[in-house]
Structure 1
C-alpha cells in the first residue's frame, strides 16, 4: 500500500518497450520505489515465443488469466537475472531496503509493460491490456495492472489469418467464437487486476476480479 503522494503513472505504463534484433524485445522495469530507478531488460525471441506457446494452450479466458499470472512471474524472474529486481519480495516491508525492491508503483507500471509486450506479440486471445488502476482506503493507496476480457467479435479478430475457426460460426475448444443465437461471452468486458506486488520476484502474479481487488481483495501482505 502507499501513502498519499504525488504519483505519475501515465506515460510510464506504455513506454520503454522496443524491438530487439532477431525478434526479441527490451522493456524498462522500474524499481527502488516510485520508479526511482529503471533498468532495461532484454528478452530473447525464444523466451517470448515459449511464453506465447504456453499461453496458446488456453481454451478459456479463465485459463488464459491463470497462464498470464505465470507468464508475468517468468518475465520478472528473467529480469531478476539482469537487473537488481531479483531481490524484490512481496509487499513493501520484506525487502530490507535492498537495491531492486519494488513498490506497487514499480509493479503496476512494469507489469503493464510486460503484459503489453505479450499482447503486441499476439499472445493474448481472450484479453486486452488496460491502464493501471488505483484503490484507496483512508490515506493508503495501492495500484495494479489491469486486463479486460474481450467480446466474441474481438476474440475472432485475434485469431490467426486463415484459421479454420475464423471462417465458421461455431464453438470450438472453448474459444467461443459465436454462442447460441449470437449470445455474448459470459465474461466479456469484465476487468481483472494482475498484481505482482503481492508476491516475491519470479512467482506467479495474483489475478483476481478488479471489483474484488478494489474492495481490498488479494493476499494479506503489506
Structure 2
C-alpha cells in the first residue's frame, strides 16, 4: 500500500494544519482577504527552505518561496491581477501598491517564522524609505540571526512590489534599499 505525506502524517497521529494568511490589495490595504495554504504546500516550502545551509542561501531560497506564496494566494484572491510598481495595474481589482506588498509579504514571513521555516533570519517591522521628500516606499524586512560578525544582525528588505505577480521577491541589504536601490519599474 502506498501512502503520501499526508497519509503518513495522519497514520502517525500528526494533525495536518492549514495556515490562513491575510493578503491586502487595492492600494493601501483597502481590501483584505484570507487565503489558505494547505499543509502539503507548506511542507513543500519547508523542504525548500531546509536546503539553505547559510543565511545567504536562505535569502536566495526565500526570494523564490515568497514568489510561490504569491502565486498560490493569487489562485484564491484577485491579487493575480497585480503588475510591477504602481502604474501598470490600470486600476484592476486586486492591484497592489508597496503598502499592500509590505503587509502581505510580512504576513507570509511571519507565518514561515512561526512554522520554523526561517533558520537564519527573524522577521522585523515594515520599513519605509522617503526619497526627494515626495515619494515613499514600504517593504517587509528580515534580520540575519544566523551569522557570525560582520553580517550578524544585518537587515534585508524582502520586496515583492518590483516584479510581476509571483516573481521572486527582491532581497537587498536594508541600507542599499534605503538609498534607493532596486529594479526600475516606472
So what's the TM-score if we normalise by structure 1? 0.75
Q: Which residue of 1 aligns with 2:154?
A: 190
Q: 1:200 & 1:22 partners in 2: Cα distance?
A: 32
Q: CA 1:134/1:46 → structure 2, altered by over 3 Å: closer, same or farther?
A: same
Matching residue within 49, 56, 59 for 1:62: 56
Matching residue within 144, 166, 170 for 1:149: 144
Determine if contact 2:18/2:38 at 8 Å carries over to the other structure: yes
How many residues align? The count is: 171
Unaligned runs of 5+ in 1: 1-20, 153-183
Determine if contact 2:119/2:146 at 8 Å carries over to the other structure: no
Matching residue within 168, 175, 181 for 1:211: 175
Determine if contact 1:151/1:185 at 8 Å carries over to the other structure: no
Q: For 1:1-222, what aligned pairs fall within 5 Å after superposition?
A: 22-137=16-131, 138-151=133-146, 184-222=148-186
Shift of 1:197: 0.4
Shift of 1:151: 4.6
Secondary structure at the residue paired with 1:39?
A: strand
Determine if contact 1:71/1:204 at 8 Å carries over to the other structure: yes
Secondary structure at the residue paired with 1:41?
A: strand
Secondary structure at the residue paired with 1:131?
A: strand
Shift of 1:59: 1.0
Q: CA 1:189/1:122 → structure 2, altered by over 3 Å: closer, same or farther?
A: same
Q: Which residue of 1 aligns with 2:3?
A: none
4+ runs of 1 displaced by more than 4 Å?
A: none
Shift of 1:187: 1.2
